[in-house]
A and B are shown apart, each in its own frame.
Chain A
Amino acid sequence: MVKPIEILSQKKQEAIDRLYNKTHFSDKLIYVGMASCEIAAGSKEVMEIFKEYAKKGLITTYISQKGCVGMCSLEPTVDILEKGKMPVRYIKVTKDVAKKIVEEHIKKNQIVKENALFGTKQKSIVICKGTFCLNNKNQQVVDRLIKEIKNENLEDKVEVCFSSCLGFCEEGPIMIIYPDFIVYSKISQEDVVRIVKETLIDGKVIEDLLVKNNNLVKLVRVYGTFESLKKQKKIVLRNCGVIDPENIDEYLLMRGYEALAKVLTFMTPKQVIEEIKKSGLRGRGGAGFPTGLKWELTAQQQSDEKFVICNADEGDPGAFMDRSTIEGDPHSIIEGMIIGGYAIGSNKGIIYIRAEYPLAVERLKIAIEQARNEGFLGENILGSGFSFDIEIRLGAGAFVCGEETALIHSIEGHRGMPRPRPPYPSVSGLFDKPTLINNVETWANIPPIIILGGEWFSSMGTQKSKGTKVFALAGKINNTGLIEVPMGVTLREIVYEIGGGIPENKKFKAVQTGGPSGGCLAEIHLDTPVDYESLTSAGSIMGSGGMIVIDEHSCMVAVSKFFLEFTQNESCGKCTPCREGTKRMLEILTRIVNGEGKEGDIEKLERLGNMIKKASLCGLGQSAPNPVLSTIKNFREEYEEHIKEKKCRAHFCTNLLTYEINEKCVGCSACKKVCPVEAISGSAKQRHTINQKVCIKCGACWRVCKFEAISRL
């Protein structure tokens, strides 16, 4: 009998053949970023430009797409790949830039430097940082390389980038030096010194380091520069932004479905669960329940039917980890779910995803169809006798449907409302059957864990939190985007090293993690390591991965009001503390920001908040007061100022603001002209005045004044 692993390797070879056949006729490959965020930034139009050229027969280049690369502020992005050449990533590609790329880069091999993120320096070094690199020497090699480059003052001439897996790990660490296309293998720290001296400076090839067969290196896909990736580790996002998510061949190329084949060939369900337990993986939806234990509990249940659910009902405002993962690498979730089904003895998977994610839904549909066609889903998968299939259920976008019991109700056709637990879904879930429910990120972690082993995974992170975590970095930060970091990295490293700090050099005030269920941490918490326990003890939560940076111009009372407004609106209305309690808290916060706060309001917020936390039915209610309680804990003085002094130090709460014209006024009338309500009067060259009764505190005068003559109090 042919083993699943053999069938897979056959399929992989076919996929590679297909892929290279397709790309064979063009020397260059264009990959356009086509995740939702990229499309919103205009990548569809960019794609049209390329396609138009191709349609007219002006270029014969292979045009494809890729998922989110995580660089929100630089989108749309376009990668140009070429055999034997350093890949070039273009950023902020407009229609005009796209035309320029074709005319100059595609046709004439001239890189459009002003839009290129990397691939433009004299020499480029690419080091593999694929998920599947067991080799932990990479980091040391890279660190040494950076140091040497610095020592030799080569920073302007040489750039260092990370690529996804190059496919021959046994030779790693691997280093490719462009434009000469020198491929070195098995590099040690000592080798690095030689490479910098001999190859980078003197331009010589070090024969004994050369990889035996550089034909192995076909298409190099680069994640990004050393700078942007130095603290990151891509496991979940291993394929995001590098492969075409709508082409299963590209997933197969990246060792896709290898974990499944391994499980079906060599492992019993029990062994699979053991491996997941060994990895220390915890639920990435926010609560951090040990995944292996959850699998084990579900596997232990005796039942004629069991279900596997992927919770893709991502709902935190400003969070887009799951969407990006699905849009960039849908097969990794599907593969994870099939393995989960095998482990617990289920033949039916359901992906519950919100209808507001049409592109993610579309890509999942395509991926499921492709997986079925290739025999990864359906009856008798890879000849193993195990059958599993997946269907997609669309949610209407209720935040509470991210709560597992509410989600299950929603799939069953009921109103999405949580129910008391126990029984937990592992015992009685969908249609009262044992149900294994994990979120997108958790599922995407499964295949690498199976391929590389639980021990590999547990070698990353902190004692209780293993592996990596994806965060959606947003707010007042330079490099907004999607990042994946090993657990244990500090908030400071994320904000300043990965995020690039606060724009305009403003002062950091707080970082909000965990979305509406999380809390705001202050400067004193910046050295908190990012793991489940540390964030909780600091007063916030890990949550599903939203991370919003707040600068000095944001009012913490207003921030907590914003989040509470969200949870109040999204409360399912079932339990009293959440439905009524958050409403009363919101009323108190509203009066505080309106300057009507009363003595005792903070205590009332704390009293209600603590009660709601302890008495609510589900996680939504239990965590709803977190933004308020954490800001009271960390920024109490701001609350007190609002209430006692009727002052908002961030000048954010309009009711607590006064604009006045001071003696610096030269009477230029600029403010008078912009005032939308004609509150400013005064004759030319005379000091103007603001009629406070009419002023709506929009701040237009303050912004337009060139003489600092308007004071904001």
Chain B
Amino acid sequence: MGKTITIYVDNKPYQVEDNQTIMQALDKIGYHIPRLCFHPKLSIEGACRVCIVEVEGQKNYVASCAYPVYDGMKIYTNSADLRRARRDIVELIVDNHPMDCHTCDRNGTCELQRLTYSMGIKNRHFVGERKRYEKDVSFVSVIRDPEKCILCGRCVRVCSEIQGVFNLTYAYRGFKTVVTTAFDMPMAESVCSACGQCVNVCPTAAFLEKNNTQELFEKLRDPNLVKVVQFAPSVRAAIGEAFGFPAGTPKEKETVAALRKLGFDYVFDTQLGADFTIMEEASELLYRLKNNGKLPMITSCSAAWMKFMEQFYPELIPNVSTCKSPMSMLGSLIKTYFAQKINVDPKKILSVAVMCCTAKKYEAARPELMLEGMRAVDIVITTRELAWMIKSAGIDFFNIEPEEFDDPLGISSGGGAIFGATGGVMESAIRTAYELYTGETLLNIEINSIRGMKGIKEGSVDFGDMRINVAVVHGLGNASKILELIKKHPEKYHFIEIMGCPGGCIGGGGQPYAGINSIPLDEDILMKRAEALYGIDRKKTIRRAHENPVVKRVYKEFLGEPLSEKAHKILHTHYQQKYPKGIIPKEMTLR
């Protein structure tokens, strides 16, 4: 707790705590100074200069995001000169912006658009040359459009400070300054983990997911295809936000109904894929524990984490579970088990996944996941893209009649639902592994120590005679921390869950943009989305993956048992070290 001091804002005295910035103090006393580059989760940049205020005794304006308050400080937030300076600053940004709002992907969700409006920029005084760049559409997950970039630097900071990827930086100087990758490499050849957090934090459309909606609309019209779709747990936890529902409003059956209206023949649940992942992963963990296998075992569900690991921690490949992700497991079962079941050539099946994630677009295209030359998932769209498709197709998501998932791949356990929140995979895996190991049912199934938004969480569970130490991390920056730790102390944990995005999948790079009065990566919103998934779990009668009748049936009819040869062929994969362009492998530099 800081000391209480008095500051004067526009001549009115206020008691505030010291040791905070002007912006922090004003936020608490009913002011909301306009801002752009500022983000509470990221370091202070002080770059956009939109949040400037006047402070008596200072010859220049000060950036309220960076400047600390002191006792007796006199702050002016709205003088005529200051308002004009702020307005001119925003105009300068706008003058170097394409202003193609009508046709822009961020129309309506763009922070610059809102700011321009609130600054009252009716005329443009300084219009001149505008920067021109080619869009970088090389990557299957994230596209980069420097022309839309306003150089607030949030992407640079989220990529380095939160995600620890350091893929983005500024290059060149002056008017030519641009945010780009190392050596100006195309995104596809960069060390981008595909997590899409840059898309989340970008105030404009300088980063976007690679949009697959047009392709999907076309495929949906193809009468020769059996159109099958699955959607991730986190999609139902967040899609409502895109339609104005409060954060944390679950929209599971409404999404099923909307997908049918869009033209899908079968709507399946990625949560069932998650149940299979649990079966395999829990079995793999127990196998490693019993057979002196490589420990700690690390989860493999997060596509961004996989790419990150292959690039930066290839030495840990033996620690990573060989399980495919829930999406890829279910996709594989759709093209094998389900195709047999309905007696259709799997090549005639269009397998679509709706994900909270941009990295899943990359995952779906991984050659390691091909099934006899076929992709398990043909098209991945994000929550955002689905919301847009629903709106675009004229489907009334507000008044839509909820519908049930299709048979046979539509029933899931509560354990599959909580996959979307950080700690969920671990919790579900423990629910099943405990029973597989001890033969007894774990009664106290909600493990609170590994829930919540803390970056690195730890816990331990007694498996009868064995104590299992686990860790849960989310965000790739946190992942690096724990990986460095286990490189030194591999004995510290038995099992680690790593999710690429802050909050887990619910904070994925494909989730709806922050609304008017909220900010991206807002922890409150992430908590509400997580709560929606825990709510779904609590309502389920089946809360453990191994109790799911569909899981039992598929093993019985098709796969045999967990870790069987067939299960390995269909549900497991492998990894290899990746050398992004521009990064020379160590052994090559030695030569």
Contact = CB atoms under 8 A, between A and B. Distances in A.
B170 A580 contact: no
B93 interface: yes
B92 A569 contact: no
Contacts of A398: 173
A417 to B, nearest CB: 7
B89 A579 contact: no
Interface in A572-590: 572-577, 579-584, 587
A616 B89 CA distance: 10
A580 B95 contact: yes
A57 interface: no
A492 interface: no
B213 interface: no
A85 B95 CA distance: 70
B121 to A, nearest CB: 14
Interface string B536-561: 00000000000000000000000000
Interface in B83-122: 84-85, 88-89, 92-93, 95-96
B170 A568 contact: no
A573 B46 contact: no
A573 B47 CA distance: 9
A615 B89 contact: yes
A579 B60 contact: no
Interface stretch (B123-131, B373-381, B428-436): B123-131
A622 interface: yes
A708 B46 CA distance: 59
A604 B85 CA distance: 13
B445 interface: no
Contacts of B319: none
Interface in B34-81: 44-50, 52, 59-61, 63, 65-68
**How many A residues are at the interface, by size bracket?**
20 to 34
A419 B63 CA distance: 11
Given A574-B153, A615-B60, A622-B60, A579 B175 contact: yes
Given A604-B126, A615-B60, A573 B174 contact: yes
Contacts, number: 111
A571 interface: yes
B96 A580 contact: yes
B169 A415 contact: yes
A617 interface: yes
A614 B129 contact: no
B93 A615 contact: no
Interface centre among A571, A577, A607, A611 (most CB of B within 10 A): A611
A571 B173 contact: yes
A622 B50 CA distance: 16
Contacts of A385: none
A611 B88 contact: yes
Interface string A593-634: 000000000001001100101111100001000000000000
A579 B151 CA distance: 10
Contact of B92 (A570, A580, A622): A580
Interface in A402-416: 415
A576 B66 CA distance: 16
Interface in A514-570: 568-570
A575 B63 CA distance: 11
Contacts of B60: 613-616, 622
Contacts of A415: 169-170
B4 interface: no
Given A573-B151, A617-B46, A422 B92 contact: no
A422 B169 contact: no
A607 B176 CA distance: 23
B174 A569 contact: yes
Contact of A583 (B61, B65, B151, B175): B175
**How many B residues are at the interface, by size bracket?**
35 or more
A322 to B, nearest CB: 22
B177 interface: yes
A572 B177 contact: yes
B177 A577 contact: no
A420 B45 CA distance: 7
B49 A617 contact: yes
Contacts of A604: 125-126
Contacts of A583: 96, 128-129, 174-175
A64 to B, nearest CB: 41
B172 interface: yes
Contact of B88 (A569, A582, A607): A607
Contacts of A608: 88, 126
A265 B540 CA distance: 81
Given A398-B173, A570-B174, A577 B49 contact: yes
A398 B63 CA distance: 24
A577 B176 CA distance: 14
Nearest to A400: B173
Nearest to B85: A611
Contact of B89 (A420, A571, A611): A611
A614 B170 CA distance: 24
A615 B52 contact: yes
A572 to B, nearest CB: 6
A569 B173 contact: yes
A184 to B, nearest CB: 54
Contacts of A400: 173
Contacts of B84: 607, 611
Contacts of A611: 84-85, 88-89
Contacts of A579: 151, 174-175, 177
Nearest to A565: B174
A152 B204 CA distance: 82
A587 B49 contact: no
A579 B170 CA distance: 13
Contacts of A607: 84, 88, 125
B68 A422 contact: yes
A572 B175 CA distance: 9
Nearest to B54: A614
A573 B173 contact: yes
A575 B170 contact: no
B177 to A, nearest CB: 3
A583 B151 CA distance: 15
A420 B63 contact: yes
Contacts of B92: 576-577, 580-581, 584
Contact of A574 (B65, B68, B151, B176): B151
A568 B175 contact: yes
Given A568-B175, A575-B47, A417 B88 contact: no
B302 to A, nearest CB: 29
Contacts of B125: 604, 607
B66 A420 contact: yes
Given A581-B92, A613-B60, A571 B46 contact: no
B286 to A, nearest CB: 45
Interface string B159-194: 000000000011011111100000000000000000
Interface centre among B45, B48, B128 (most CB of A within 10 A): B128
Contacts of B153: 574
A573 B131 CA distance: 13
Contact of A420 (B67, B85, B176): B67
B89 A584 contact: no
Contacts of B93: 576, 580
A576 B46 contact: no
Contacts of B151: 573-574, 576, 579
Given A568-B174, A584-B92, 11 more contacts: A420-B46, A568-B175, A569-B173, A574-B153, A574-B170, A576-B50, A579-B151, A581-B92, A604-B125, A607-B88, A615-B85
29 contacts: A420-B63, A568-B175, A570-B173, A571-B174, A571-B177, A572-B170, A573-B170, A574-B151, A574-B170, A574-B177, A575-B46, A576-B50, A577-B49, A580-B175, A583-B96, A584-B92, A584-B95, A584-B126, A604-B126, A611-B84, A614-B60, A614-B61, A614-B85, A615-B85, A615-B89, A616-B49, A617-B46, A617-B47, A617-B63
* A-B pairs with lowest CB-CB distance, top 8: A573-B177, A420-B46, A420-B66, A580-B92, A584-B126, A587-B128, A571-B174, A583-B175
